[in-house]
Structure 1
Amino acid sequence: MLKRVIFCFVLVGLLIPSYLMAGSVTARGQAAIVNNDKAMARDKAIEDALRRAVEQVVGTMVSSESKTKDFQLIEDNIYTHSKGYVESYKIVSEKVEDNVYIVDIQADVSSGKIEGKLKAIGIALSRKGKPRVMFLISEQNVGQENPSYWWGTTASVSDIGIVENTMINIFQKNGFTVIDRQAVSGKIKVKDAYRVASLSSDAAKSIANQTDAQIVIFGQAIAKSLGNQPIGTSPDSPKYPTASANMSVRALNTDNGEIIATATGEHVYPHPSEISAGNNALKMAAEKVSNQLIDGIMEKWNQELSGGQMVSIDITGVDDPGFLSEFKNFLTQQVRGVQGVQIRKFKKPDASLDIDYKGKGQDLGLELSGKKIGKSVLEVTDMQQNSVKIKVTKGGK
């Protein structure tokens, strides 16, 4: 009975996403009629229309720059297999003009399948420089009085919980590079104030910045007992110990502290063993949250790749507010990819700016290195994915 119940849950979970992720688009396909073979031309026109329908959906997910740079990769993996991404289609109209067969179709294209393939071939991930990821997840299973987390006093650095292990596996399968915290444990010094299960953004950023992680994923996972619950709907259904797991996590850029994505999830799982019920509930919740978080990260990255991202610039050596005005004009007028500049704060001799930039922080840093603003020279002292640090020197020295 339990297997049947679980199977039904799994089956429903498999059926719903395909339905929800299909989007309807219209497209036109054309093919020349050769040797008066209209049937062949019609088939090719339909194939052309299906490809164009898929191209439309890809266009909403990938920046034009990425489509150009990764054309062959997208061509080989998606466009040449267009039929596989179309759930269904119907011919709206068809006609022949100047010996060309023309077909208009309405197609339901699976954006979920396309997104999965884009993840698999690492388009957005590659464009973002494949940033390294670190996990800071506290975990509390059924029967545990307190949560366990390696940066505290209740677990060692070698302990990897069910949730963290599940998330690591899913992120690695999606092309992410995950920091091995056991390998870097000697570098990490945790402040007493940060030895808590519920980390603040500043605390997570502080811990992760002691490694070379560009993204830190932090949060909590808690499994609680629901007691014995029936696993079926009939009056004589057996009752099993049941656990409910809840998770809440955030992904944060370690260089500028920006929240990239958030995710929450829960899962209920029955099992003859209460501990196993908790283990499985935590694992299933972690799978849901991981996929949700990856979707959020990819959505954010695709927006940045097609538009711009926020790059923070911290400057030292500024002795005059007038320099900031000159620097702002220089950025907006002479640096390619800069779409906007906001002076966030200035307290002599330091200043901070937020740059709306189409590119990575490293690209901006390379562009600014050695540039002159009046009699001042920009010396780039640090470049990260989303931040640049600059020292201003006078007279070229």
Structure 2
Amino acid sequence: MKKILIVMLFLLLPIFLVHSKTVTATGEANIVNGDVASAKFQAIARAKWAALEAAAGVQVKVETVIQNSQLVDEAIKNEVKGVVDKYKIIDEGKDGDVYWVKISADVSPAEAAKAVSIFAKNTSVAVYIPVIFPDRNVDETTALSEKVINELSSQGLDVVDVASLGTKYSLTEIENALRTNNFGAFRNVAYQFLSGAILIGKVDTTLSAQQGKNIGYGVSLPFNVVTGRLTYRLIGDKDGKKVIVASGYVSGRGQGPTPEDATHNMLENLASNVSNELISTVVENIKGQNKKTIEVVLAGNTNLNNLLELKNDLQYISWVLNVTDKGVDKVLVEYPEKSIYLANAIKNLNKYELKTFDKYRIVIEKIR
């Protein structure tokens, strides 16, 4: 029996190894009031998170979108548990008032991607809309995709142009994703760039009328006509899972001396229709799907004037949809983004000190 068990464990060992990868990462923290032990503890936590980001293949680091280490530390302290399987310190030291560590850690890439998703911005969208020409050639960057990206950006969204990243997807992968609603490969791109939403689609084109065709009475068609149909899916988060929150199609036609020219003209026409229909669908779904109410509490010796000032400050923060009073020391904020981003925006006003925050509540105090 023992021999059988040993053989089974030996056979399963490669499976466990596949699910984990060893990465090297560094972390650092300020030494406050000579407390080296606390600085080392914080530096290790940050090194673990850096290892987690590396394993997930993250391209946009958390500290580039949240410039407040207190917020990041508070958010990640529970996420590294169970994701970093084991680690060891391979180097450490002091550099002035900074303590740093270098670790080697075993991390599960799949679990790392899930952990990183806590920072995925609801108002960031990864866009990929290739066009399949009549000759079956695929173009990933067209007038249509540029129009969509520019329009979404103008609405205040952070947009990731998947086509510009250099990752190539085959026509089969694209068609299978749209047919089966399995967007695993594109979901990984969203994780890497902290995007909470994915807009994926494809434009199928048909040479519906060819130049020289007899159209009656001895008259030949002087140009080619191409018909295009954009099919799209908007993928968002719901209960921690990626789900389809909107889908649809938009059609267009174009004509030109060659099928290629007719296709490009069709895309120009399609881009106009898309700006009216697709963009509004994306923006409204992102607002509606993710909208929630966050309670912002003004602690300390507050008064009506301070509360009115806070209310006014909040109304000028990007993506704040509405602010209403709730008593003499708190307001309710309608916000489609994660609370950590609202807390970060409030902190960046340099008027309030952050006390605590969670998913639905932020406690601050006005700086005297």
TM-score range, shorter chain: 0.3 to 0.5
Task: Give the TM-score taking structure 2 as reference length.
Answer: 0.39
Task: Give the TM-score taking structure 1 as reference length.
Answer: 0.37
